[in-house]
């Protein structure tokens, strides 16, 4: 048995304004996806998103505080011990904390399928390293993600970002091209991404 408190979990503040508390990674859970969230500077506690890509069903448990969930445009204010289950992956969901002490536990997975660790967990872990200029550490985490989820376009894109910031032009361009080939929608994102400022004038930069 392994025990911890939510406040003792790693605290990863993300650009979207919420704080990710990696539960699954802390315990090495492989059977299902689970993570906790606390509010960041914006008060957001669960990012607005759908689960169309992964086809996950999700359930959220408010651990403390009060939280306003918005699911498919409908608002629901929940307190400690209350749950909201989102069975339809296509529904947009998100939540805002109504106090600084709020905390939410999320559990999800694809019905009828063995759980696969999502690449975004590694990408979230790499964000502090990117912000602080620890590019070797960020690249290590992103390569770890690609070992777990080979060929993931988002991870390859973020690896290109880290390489561009580290001054590794050739590697960044190669991985950026690979990411766009896997997901053409990333071409538009790359045009305005500040991480690519150092390589955008290179004639090899994808347009």
* Exposed e or buried b per residue across 1-27, where buried means at least 16 C-beta atoms within 10 angstroms of its C-beta: eeeeeeeebeebebeeebbbbbbbbbe
- Specify the pLDDT at position 15: 84
Entry pTM: 0.84
Tell me the C-alpha distance between 50 and 52, whole Å. Answer: 6
At residue 1, does pLDDT exceed 80? no
pLDDT, tens digit (0-9, with 9 covering 90-100), for 76-111: 999 999 999 999 999 999 999 999 999 999 999 999
Of residues 162, 60, 53, 183, the one with CA closest to residue 118: 53
**198: which 2 tokens?**
């150092």
DSSP helix/strand/coil, 94: strand
Task: Check if the beta carbon of residue 119 is closer than 8 Å to that of residue 152.
Answer: yes
Query: CATH assignment of 6-109, given 2.60.120.10, 3.30.70.370, 1.10.3720.10, 2.40.40.20?
Result: 2.60.120.10
Task: Check if the beta carbon of residue 196 is closer than 8 Å to that of residue 176.
Answer: yes
pLDDT, tens digit (0-9, with 9 covering 90-100), for 39-84: 998 999 999 999 998 899 999 999 999 999 999 999 999 999 999 9
pLDDT, tens digit (0-9, with 9 covering 90-100), for 147-199: 988 999 999 999 999 999 999 999 999 999 999 999 999 999 999 999 999 99
**205: which 2 tokens?**
């930069």
Of residues 87, 113, 105, 103, the one with CA closest to residue 24: 105
- Specify the pLDDT at position 116: 87
Query: What secondary structure letter does DSSP report for 100?
Result: T
Of residues 8, 23, 30, the one with CA closest to residue 60: 23
- Specify the pLDDT at position 118: 87
Q: Where are the domains of the chain?
A: 6-109, 119-196
Query: CATH assignment of 119-196, given 1.25.40.10, 3.40.50.10420, 3.30.2400.10, 2.60.300.12?
Result: 1.25.40.10
Residue that is written with structure tokens 């086809």 in the block: 55
Tell me the C-alpha distance between 54 and 175, whole Å. Answer: 23
Tell me the C-alpha distance between 167 and 136, whole Å. Answer: 12
């Amino acid at each position: 048995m392994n025990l911890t408190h939510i406040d003792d979990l790693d605290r990863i503040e993300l650009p979207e304004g919420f704080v990710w508390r990696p539960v699954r990674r802390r315990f090495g859970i492989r059977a299902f996806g689970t993570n906790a969230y606390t509010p960041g500077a914006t008060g957001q506690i669960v990012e607005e998103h759908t689960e169309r890509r992964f086809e996950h069903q999700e359930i959220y448990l408010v651990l403390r505080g009060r939280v306003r969930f918005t699911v498919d445009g409908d608002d629901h204010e929940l307190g400690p011990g209350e749950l909201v289950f989102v069975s339809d992956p296509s529904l947009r969901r998100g939540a805002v904390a109504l106090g600084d002490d709020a905390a939410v536990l999320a559990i999800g997975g694809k019905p009828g399928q063995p759980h696969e660790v999502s690449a975004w967990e590694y990408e979230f872990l790499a964000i502090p390293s990117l912000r602080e200029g620890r590019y070797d550490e960020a690249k290590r985490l992103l390569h770890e993600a690609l070992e777990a989820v080979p060929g993931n376009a988002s991870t390859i894109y973020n690896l290109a970002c880290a390489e561009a910031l580290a001054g590794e032009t050739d590697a960044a361009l190669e991985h950026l091209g690979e990411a766009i080939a896997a997901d053409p929608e990333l071409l538009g994102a790359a045009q305005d991404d500040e991480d690519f400022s150092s390589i955008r004038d290179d004639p090899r930069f994808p347009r």
